[in-house]
Each structure stands twice: as C-alpha cells, then as structure tokens.
Chains A and B, each alone.
Chain A
C-alpha cells in the first residue's frame, strides 16, 4: 500500500530502489539495500530506525547531498539522478532545507547572518545588492517565527542548544524550500527544549503546510508524524498510517 496513491495525489519526492554501500577496509558495508520511499506534499514523514541503520545516509541521498550507488530520485515526477554536482548544489539551495542534530551553525557568523547564508549562496554579489533588503526582512521574519527576535546579533556560542536549533530551522527555511529535512532534530536536546522544538516544527507544518522528513530513533517523536516508515536492514519495513500504529499501541 502506498500512501501517496492512497491520498490520490502524485508524491512530491520519490526515492526508487536506493542502494548505498560504504567500503571500509576492503569490506563493503551495505547501508541501503533498495529503499523505496515517497514524500507527499504537506505531510510530516518520520523515518524511524535504530542508531547506525542508515537513516542519515538515506536523508543525505534524498536531499541531493550524497549520490546513491543505485536507484533514482524523482522530484515532481522528474528523474534527477543524472544531475551534475553544481546542479545538485543549486537544487539543495533552492528545494531542500536541512536541520541537523548538532545544529551546524557557522561559529563566526551572528544568528541572523547564519539565517541569511542560503540566500547569500543563492545570489551573486550584484543580485545580492538588489535583494539584500528583502532577504534581511525574510530572515528577521523567520527569527520572529522561531522566537529569537532579540538574539539576531548573537553568535552561536552565546546561544543555548534549543536556541541554536531554532536558528538552524530558520536558516533551513530562508529560501522557502519544498522540503525540510531534519536529522534527529531533538536528539541533542533535553525534554522540554525538545518538545518546544518539535512544537515549532509541527506549527510550521500546520500554518504553512511545510513538507517535512524527520529522521529519528525516537519512537515517541515519530508517533506524532503524519506517517512513519521503519528503516530495517537497509530496507523500508512498513509504510502505513501512524493512526494504525497508535491503535496498535493503544491495544
């Protein structure tokens, strides 16, 4: 059963038969062994799996950060597997937003400058000169959405973990991406802060219809997604509505 088919619309992003191997010391580590996955517009998809099972690898492959050894990525019905490095970089910049477990902010830049980074990467010096004001307004707006209006000038090291992750979320949204890819977004945060960040993400989905793929080993977090898939042995084990899981859990 395929949820995209079930909801009656074509998936926004599809991974078909994704295979990824790592060669470590002469041995081949088969991380992805043929993953089929589809992301529908406007949904929150959780990929659940144990630590080291290849969740991050799958996310990187889906997000054009890494190339699969086999299989293809289809975006809006078009196969993009043959894109060159520069084109993939451009797609990342325009279509993907990444949020990482360890925030990955640039330490020498202020919070606002970090948020502006995707826009700076998008524009050359001349275009940047024209777009600067609009992009700054957008970044300030995002800082307000993530609740950090007063921290714009602060450096990452002057912010707490939760605040850093909020800046990272704002940064991921700067270029109005089609997808927000979150790799263990709350993995490094304590209970209440993790819940605040989750609340922020779910709010974004509710208010702006932001499509999200969230990778986690935390079943409780995954349970709140619209849909959960399990990554086991390099394959997708189940792909069904969370409601079912919840029902099972309730039983």
Chain B
C-alpha cells in the first residue's frame, strides 16, 4: 500500500510535478483535438464527396454512333448488376459567367466581373435518384422543379441555373429572401432582358474573350472555332441566365466552383463539331451525355460492381468509384493525419522528458526517505514501484485532464473559431481552404483511448529510469546521510 501512498504524497508535495502533468495534459489534449478534427474532416469529406459524386461514375471513351443512348445504357446496367438502383446523365463543361459584384475587382468600370465555373448539366429527375443534390437545395421557387422560374421564362427559353450559397456570399450577390417566397433575384448579365435591366452585349463578350483568353484557350473553351481558312473565329454562345435556386452541399470549395444547369442547356452550348471528311463539313450530333453517375443500393458493393461493369462495358467506358476519382485527395487527408499525429506526438514525448527530469530530481531529494523505508522493510522492488507509480500517476492524471480539455475543445471548436475570428480577426478555418463552413469533428473513442494509453505507457517508461536509480541506492548509505 505504501507504494501508491508515497507516490501520491510525493506527487502532491512537489509543485514541479504540476509541470509534468501539464505537459502530458497538453500533449494528450492536442492529439485528441487533432485526431477528432481529422477524423471528422475525413468523415465529412467522404460524406459530401460521395453525396455529390454518387457511387460509380462512367466516363465514355467513345463518341458518335458508338455511344449507347442513355435509355439503352440504363437498361443494360440494371440487367448486368442487380445492385444498380439508378443512373443519371451529366455533361460537365466549363463556362464563363458575367455578373455584377461589389466584392471582387470588377473587370470593367461598370462593376461587372467574369468568373469561370464548372457547369454541370443534369436531368433533375434522374439526378435526384443518384445524388444528394435535392437535399442540398436550400432555396428555390419550386423545389420539385428547381429549374423552373416562370412559364414566361420557359417560353422564352431562359437558361436557369442553381448556384451555391458560397458563390452568392463570395460575390455579395443579392441573396434569396425566404420570407417573401420570391424567386431568387437575378443578377448582372444573367438578368432577364425583358425586365429592361442591363444585358451583356455579345460583341463585347467576344472582345473580352479575345483579350482575356488568347487564341488557344478560346478554342479550347469553345468560345471560338476555326473558320475555313483555319483562323480562329470567335463564336461565343452567350445567354442570359437566371438564378433559379441556391444549394449548399456542405463542400464549400467544390460549391464555389460549381453551377448546375439543365443538361439540355449545356448540351446546346457545347461547341459544334463537324465531320470534315465531307465537303461542305457536316455538323455532327452533340453527345447526349459526357458522364453517367450510377447509384447502388449500398456503396459497400462499389468495388465488386466496378469490376463486373468494367468487364462488360469497359470497351466504351472508364468505370470508376467516387473513391477512385478522389483518391489523391482522400489519400492526402489520410497522409496529413498520420503526419500531424507523428509531429504532435513529440509534445507527449516532451511530457515524458519532463517526467524523467522531475522524477530524477525527486529521487535525489528523497534519498534519505528511500533509506528509511528500506529500514522499515521496503524491498528494492518496492522502492522501484514507488517511483514507477509516481510517473504513472502523472501520466494518468495528465491523460484524464487532457481528455477533459480535448473533449471540451472538440465540443466547442466552432465557438473557439468564432471567438478567434471576432476578437483577433484570425480565421483558423477558412471555408475556401477547408471545404466546410463549420469545423467537423468526430469523437473517436478508440483513437482517444489509444492516445491516453500511449501517454500512460510513455509515463511508465519515463518513470522507469529514475525508479531504477532509486532502487539501486544503498539504504544504509542513504540513512547515514544527514
């Protein structure tokens, strides 16, 4: 009993032990906080990326006549694989948007700016079944038909888009007013021309495109085509777009670059290709889709389904899971976690060195005590355990305090973030870098217990050396010393 008793008493009587406890505590707390944030980050990345990417992605490698129609493909997929629940077509195409903003430096004195966005053409009804976009829609005139603004607009072939909340906020665009139930206020060049608001002049856009992009890029983006003599001829297909809805998928970084449009509208804007073997060249039909997203009844089967589909349709499609598409990113996040844990473990190690130093001091100071308990019948093993317990107690108390601090911080991490932002104007978690508006955390007991256990083990080894030194002391010599 005396081992624990004396260990506790020595711990209490020396203030310097507080430093050891503090060292272990900060190490454990920091590790817990970082692991919980990284785990939360990973979990949310997976959730959102998966939500917007769907389980399996088919990218055609063939074009023209060889590309199966969507209907044929859907039927075939369901026939090949019972796990396939739905398939939806997409055309992803980068487009330039011009709009008025107060935030960004406007290109012209008129306050208009240009922004290139990944425009994703979707079929709403099909998309609803393969992704979580419908859940991410936070404002729309008609959530059932988010691209619909008005009959009038429809008759006039208006192009309607869904933009992200991040985008709206980034450019300080007029936000949607949920109280009035009004359609999202159209802005800038995307305004309805019939309301009399400013319209983009197609000629002006061409000139800007020329000066901004240069020949090759313009050709690449389909703003220009080559004429018969082979010279680039600017043919920008300009439209006026109306914001029909706002979404927020939770992935702020992706959101800020992505605009959704009806698949037909995007298809219209794809550059016209010609069969140049004919004279005059014959326009080729545009692709029905450039990507097909497939949802399975459970993502668990994705790997197996990928393999089996690749065997069947691999000649015309690249078959990938969403994890394949984001492999680099997911791996980077994993890697970062490992690296952080390794680097931050040095804080715990530092705690270990403090324990080693303070305990060595305690042993020297307690030389006489060691002789006394020896005379009273303590064995060398007993003396060893006194100081092992001393180190262990520091580890255990430090770990528990670290657990408390880490848990509190993890629970209030967004408050801490807001506090830093409000008082010191430090943004520790800018959404455009970290994808998310709030800091995601996930309490992971196995990791937490491993961190705590590791620290206690480290405290044990840190205490071992001074304890062995204490056990080697000759009690007689210790007693003679006055």
Interface of A with B (CB < 8 Å)?
56, 60, 63, 65-66, 85-86, 89-94, 98, 100, 102, 104-109, 117-118, 120-125, 127-128, 171, 175
Does B204 count as interface, using CB distance less than 8 angstroms?
A: no
Stretch at the interface among B5-13, B76-84, B186-194, B272-280: B5-13
10 residue pairs A–B, Cβ–Cβ below 8 Å: A60-B476, A63-B375, A89-B378, A90-B377, A90-B379, A92-B377, A117-B2, A121-B377, A125-B1, A128-B1
| B residues less than 8 Å from A63 (CB atoms) | 375
B368 to chain A, nearest CB (A): 7
> With contacts A106-B372, A125-B4 known, is A118 near B476, CB below 8 A?
no
Closest-CB distance, B169 to chain A (whole angstroms): 62
Give complex CA distance A34, B482 in Å: 29
Q: Would you give the 0/1 interface string for B116-145, flagging 1 where the beta carbon is closer than 8 Å to chain A?
A: 000000000000000000000000000000
Q: Are B379 and A89 in contact (CB under 8 A)?
A: yes
The distance from the CB of A107 to the nearest CB of chain B, in whole angstroms, is 8
User: Which residues from B are CB-within-8-Å of A106?
Assistant: 6, 369, 372-373
**Is there an interface contact between B377 and A93, defined as CB atoms closer than 8 Å?**
yes
Closest 5 CB pairs of A and B: A93-B377, A128-B1, A120-B2, A89-B379, A92-B377
Give the docked Cα–Cα distance between A90 and B480 (Å). 21
Instruction: Decide if B1 touches A104 in the complex (CB within 8 Å).
Output: no
Which of A93, A102, A122, A171 sits near B482, CB closer than 8 Å?
A: A102
Q: How far is the CA of A109 from the CA of B6 in the complex (A)?
A: 9
When the two chains form the complex, which single residue of B13, B371, B479, B480 contacts A108, counting CB atoms closer than 8 Å? B13
- A117–B375 CA distance with the chains assembled, in angstroms: 11
B377 contact from A56, A94, A124, A128, Cβ within 8 A: A94
Give A91 to B2 CA distance when docked, in angstroms: 17
Given contacts A89-B380, A91-B377, 10 further A-B contacts (CB under 8 A): A89-B378, A94-B377, A98-B375, A98-B376, A104-B372, A106-B6, A120-B2, A121-B376, A121-B377, A125-B4
- Chain B residues with CB under 8 Å of A65's CB are 374-375, 475-476, 479
Q: Is the CB of A108 within 8 A of B476?
A: no
Q: Assuming the A-B contacts A104-B368, A108-B13, are A89 and B377 also in contact, with contact meaning beta carbons closer than 8 angstroms in the complex?
A: yes
With both beta carbons as reference points, the residue of chain B lying nearest to A120 in the complex is identified as: B2
Known: A60-B476, A109-B9. A104 touches B375 (CB 8 A): yes
Q: How far is the CA of A123 from the CA of B377 in the complex (A)?
A: 11
Beta-carbon contact of A124 and B1 below 8 Å = yes
* A132 to B, closest residue via Cβ: B1
- Measured CB to CB, the closest approach of chain B to A51, in angstroms, equals 13
Question: Chain B contacts of A105 at CB under 8 A?
Answer: 372
A85 to B475, CA, bound (A): 12
Q: How far is the CA of A171 from the CA of B13 in the complex (A)?
A: 22
Other-chain contact of A104, B377, B476, B479 (Cβ < 8 Å): B479
Contact between A121 and B378, CB atoms less than 8 A apart: yes
Determine the distance from Cα of A28 to Cα of B224 in the docked complex, in whole angstroms.
Answer: 105
- Flag whether B203 is at the interface (Cβ < 8 A): no
List chain B residues, Cβ under 8 A from A123: 1
**Are B376 and A118 in touch, CB under 8 angstroms?**
yes
| Neighbouring B residues of A171 by C-beta, 8 Å | 376
* In-complex Cβ contact of A66 among B368, B378, B476 (8 A): B476
Q: Is B428 an interface residue (CB 8 A)?
A: no
CA distance A65 to B379 in the complex (A): 11
Cα of A128 to Cα of B373 in the assembled complex, Å: 17
B382 beta carbon closer than 8 Å to chain A: yes
Which A residues touch B5, using CB under 8 A?
120
Contact A108/B377 with A60-B476, A65-B475, A65-B476 known, Cβ cut-off 8 Å: no
- Nearest chain-A residue to B5 (Cβ)? A120
Q: How many angstroms between the C-alpha atoms of A60 and B462 in the bound complex?
A: 34
Taken residue by residue from 1 to 42, chain B's Cβ proximity to chain A (1 for < 8 Å, 0 otherwise) reads as 110111001100100000000000000000000000000000
Q: CB distance A93 to B381 under 8 Å? A: no
Point out the residue from B9, B373, B482 that lies within 8 Å of A121, measured CB to CB: B373
Cα distance, A124 to B1, chains bound together (Å): 5
Per-position binary interface string of chain B over residues 151-189, scored 1 when its CB falls under 8 Å from any chain A CB and 0 otherwise:
000000000000000000000000000000000000000
Determine the chain A residues whose CB is within 8 A of the CB of B380 once the complex forms.
85-86, 89
Contacts of B479 in A (CB 8 A): 65, 100, 104
Instruction: Determine the chain A residues whose CB is within 8 A of the CB of B382 once the complex forms.
Output: 89, 121
Q: What's the nearest-Cβ distance from chain B to residue A31, in Å?
A: 12
Residue of A nearest to B13 (CB): A108
Interface 1/0s, chain B 376-396, versus A by CB < 8 A? 111111100000000000000
Contacts of A60 in B (CB 8 A): 476
B362 to chain A, nearest CB (A): 11
Q: B369 → chain A, closest Cβ, in Å?
A: 5
Q: With both chains docked as a complex, state the minimum distance between the C-beta of B136 and any C-beta of chain A, in angstroms.
A: 59
For chain B, residues 235 to 289, give those with C-beta under 8 angstroms from any C-beta of chain A. Answer: none
With the chains together, A56 CA to B480 CA distance in Å?
A: 9
**Bound CA span A90–B482, Å:** 25
Residue ID in chain B nearest A102 by CB atoms? B482
Determine if B475 and A118 form an interchain contact, defined as CB atoms under 8 angstroms apart: no
- Cα(A65)–Cα(B478), bound, Å: 12
State the CA gap A108–B376 with chains docked (Å). 16
- Please report the C-alpha to C-alpha distance between residue A121 and residue B1 in the assembled complex, in whole angstroms: 6
**Which B residues are in CB contact (< 8 Å) with A109?**
9
Which of A86, A98, A102, A121 has the largest number of chain B CB atoms within 10 A? A121
CA A122 – CA B9 in complex, angstroms?
Answer: 18
Q: Which of A85, A92, A106, A124 has its CB near the most chain B CB atoms (within 10 A)? A: A106
Please indicate the chain A residues that have their CB under 8 angstroms from the CB of B368 in the complex: 104
Residues of A contacting B476 in the complex (Cβ-Cβ under 8 angstroms): 60, 65-66
Which of A92, A104, A127 has the most chain B CB within a 10 Å cutoff?
Answer: A104
A120 and B377 form a contact (CB under 8 A): no
In the complex, what residues of B have CB within 8 A of residue A93's CB?
A: 376-378
B123 CB → nearest A CB, Å? 72
Which residues in A have their C-beta under 8 angstroms from that of B4? 125
Q: Which residues of A contact B10 (CB under 8 A)?
A: 108
Query: In the complex, what's the smallest C-beta–C-beta distance from A89 to chain B, in angstroms?
Result: 4
Task: List the A residue with the shortest CB-CB distance to B378.
Answer: A121
A89, B9: Cα distance in complex, Å: 23
- The 8 A CB mask of B450-482 against A (1 = contact, 0 = none) is 000000000000000000000000011001101
Known contacts A104-B368, A104-B479, A108-B9; A117 and B373 CB within 8 A of each other: yes
